[in-house]
Homo-oligomer: A and B are copies of this chain.
Amino acid sequence: MRTLSKLTQGLIGQPMLEILTTVTSMENAGQKVFRFEVGDSDFDAHPDIVAATQSALAAGHTRYVNSLGIEPLRQSIRKYIGQGWGFTPDLEQIAVMPSNSIIDFVIRCVADPGDEVLFSDPGFPSYYAATHYLGVRDVRVPVHESNRFQMNPADLEARISDKTRLIIINSPQNPTGSVMTRDECAQIAAIAKKHDLWLLSDEMYSENLYDGEIHHSPSAFDQCRERTIILHGFSKGFSMSGWRLGYAVGPADLIAKMGLMFQTVYTCVPPFIQYAGITALEADRTLMKARMEKYRQLRDIMVGALNDIPGVSCPTPKGAIYTFPNIRGTGLSSQAFAKTVLEKAGVATVPGTCFGPGGEGYVRLCYLREETIIHEACERMKQALR
C-alpha cells in the first residue's frame, strides 16, 4: 500500500528556514528587508579557505574517500583539539560529517523511539526537530536569564529517568550566547557519569568568544573516551556555512557506528571540501582573532542599539553570534514582536519561541552584519514599536 510512514508525521521545518522563505518572497516583491534571522555572517570565509577549496579541486581531490574523513583533516582536527581542549583524541575518535547530521546520528545511535533526551529550553531547534521525527522524547530543562541561561544542575537531575539516554549541552549557546564556566561543565559531566548517560556537547561556537572568555568542555573529564561527544564544525568560527563541514569527537565505538551510518546515507564529505577544513584549522590564528574583535564590536553596537529601544532589554552575550533581547517590556509576545518589526520596520528576527516555549519574551538577532545596517534596523524597530 502506498502510504507515508509514521516518521513523516514527525518531520518539521526548521523555523529559521521557514522565516527565510517569507523574507525571500518579501525581497522578491521588491521590499528592503534587514536580515538578522539567519545565523550566518555577512563576512565571507577567509580567501585562503576559498583558495584551498579551489586548489583541491584543481588537484583532483574529487573522488570517493574514507567515510570518516580524509586522514590529513582528521590529523588537523586531532591537533586542533589537542591545542585547545587539553587532550589529544585518537584518530578513531574523529569522524568528519556535517554538524547537523551529527545531532541526528548521535541521537539515532544512542536512543530508541520512546527513550528520552535532555536539552535546554530555549535551545537550538535542530535538537527538537531530530528527536521529534525520530519518535524520541525531548525532555526540556528550563534555563533563565536570571541564571545566565545556564541549566541548574538540580533541574537537570530531576528530569533524568530510566528512559534517559543522552544530555545535550551547547556552549557558547544558540540562541542566548551564554557561556558555561568550568564548574558548570564539571557539574554536568558529573551528573552524566553518575547516571551513566551519553553527553553530546555542541561546541559549534567555541571560536566565537569575547571579553577574554575561555572555552570549557565536559570532554576535559573523559577525553571523549567514555560518554562525551564533541560536536564541532566550520560554519560559525570560520564563516564556512555553505561548505557543510563539521566533525564529531567521541568514544571510538560510537564514532564507528556513526561512520557506518554516514557511509550508508552519504558515502563521504566531498574531499575538496575537507581540504578547506585543513586550511582553516592550520591558518594563522591572528586572522581569526582580528575577525573576532570585529564581531565583538558589532555585538556591542547591537546590544547598545537594542537597549535604546523602549521596552527592550538586552544582556551582553559572552559568546556565539546572537543577541537575545528580552522584549517583555514592549507588551508583545515573541511572535507578535517579530511580526511587527518584520512588517512595519522590514527587520527579520527569530521569535524566541522557535527555540522552545521558554523562549517566550525574547527574540534572536544575529549581529554579524555591517555596522550601518545594525544602526538603521534598530532605529526602524524603535520607530515601529512607538
Tell me the A residues contacting B by CB distance below 8 Å: 1-8, 11-14, 17, 20, 38, 40, 44-45, 50, 53-54, 57-58, 60-65, 67, 98, 100-101, 104, 108-112, 115, 126, 129-130, 133, 162, 164-165, 195-198, 227, 240-244, 253-254, 257, 260-261, 263-273
Contact = CB atoms under 8 A, between A and B. Distances in A.
Given A109-B8, A110-B2, A244 B257 contact: no
B267 A98 contact: yes
A254 to B, nearest CB: 7
A11 B260 contact: yes
Given A54-B58, A57-B53, A57-B54, A126 B264 contact: yes
17 contacts: A1-B165, A1-B197, A2-B196, A2-B198, A8-B109, A11-B260, A11-B261, A12-B260, A14-B264, A50-B62, A53-B272, A62-B242, A98-B266, A100-B265, A133-B260, A244-B268, A270-B273
B4 A242 contact: no
Contacts of A112: 5-7
Given A2-B110, A265-B100, A8 B242 contact: no
Contacts of A261: 11, 133
A4 to B, nearest CB: 6
A241 B64 contact: yes
A243 B260 contact: no
Contacts of A253: 4
B13 A260 contact: yes
A110 B4 contact: yes
A82 to B, nearest CB: 25
A270 B104 CA distance: 19
Contact of A63 (B4, B12, B162, B242): B242
Given A7-B109, A54-B54, 18 more contacts: A1-B195, A2-B227, A5-B109, A11-B260, A11-B264, A13-B263, A17-B64, A40-B63, A44-B62, A53-B272, A61-B242, A98-B266, A101-B266, A133-B260, A133-B264, A244-B268, A244-B270, A270-B273
A276 to B, nearest CB: 9
Contacts of A53: 57, 272
Contacts of A241: 62-64
B108 A242 contact: no
Given A64-B242, A109-B8, A104 B265 contact: yes
A199 to B, nearest CB: 9
A4 B62 contact: no
A91 to B, nearest CB: 14
Contacts of A162: 1
Nearest to A126: B264
Given A165-B3, A244-B267, A257 B197 contact: no
A266 B244 contact: yes
A244 B271 CA distance: 10
A129 to B, nearest CB: 5
Nearest to A60: B44
A242 to B, nearest CB: 4
B100 A264 contact: yes
Contacts of A64: 17, 20, 38, 40, 241-242
